[in-house]
Amino acid sequence: MPTRRVLRIDNDEDKVVLKTRTRPVKFPNPGLKQLAKDMLETMHIANGVGLAAPQIGLSHRIAVVYIPPEVEEHEDGTTTETVPEQIYVLINPEVVKASDEEEVGLEGCLSLPGWYGDVPRAAWVTVDYQGLDGKRYRIRKADGLLGRALQHEIDHLDGILFTERIRDLSTLKDYSKEKEAETESAEH
């Protein structure tokens, strides 16, 4: 499975593509399964939680989301998976309901690696979408990481970048420099 280049917010040509609203995906669509596999692999290699088609230069209304499993660590050092991983391939997703309550959380984006800022999002959302089979599905009242990831990826499909959602731009910081410093001090 080939990985794709992730477009960057800080590249003017890439930003034009990232700021463009996507077109709905029509069914049947024989290339869709391979595209979803490529997107999931690209997202995993980049250590992401989500990836939308515009981020790899495509104007299709498709996004993938990966929520890692929740693991409980025991005193003896063993672990138990308490909640399995969740993988979503969302075709033509739409937020159909959102809570009035808002939560602000630290958020990043594969199109601006290392940078994170405080982004306000609805506390929960209900999303309708189509699966790879073309059938309609609904995720009800998604909150936490899933709710935030769904809103972030659907924003990408609408041409909205997470940096545009940040109310206080002073919270947008490059955390990769801190990680490099931690790694260097750990190595010495």
Distance CA 154, CA 167 (A): 19
Please answer whether residues 94 and 154 qualify as being in contact, where contact means their C-beta atoms are separated by less than 8 angstroms.
yes
Residue from 85, 153, 164, 187 carrying the catalytic annotation: 153
3-state secondary structure the chain: CCCCCCCCCCCHHHHHHHCCCCECCCCCCCCHHHHHHHHHHHHHHCCCCEEEHHHHCCCECEEEEEECCEEEECCCCCEEEEECCEEEEEEEEEEEEECCCEEEEEEECCCCCCEEEEEEEECEEEEEEECCCCCEEEEEEEEHHHHHHHHHHHHHHCCCCHHHHCCCHHHCEECHHHHHHHHHHHHC
Residue 164 catalytic? no
Q: Which residues are catalytic?
A: 153
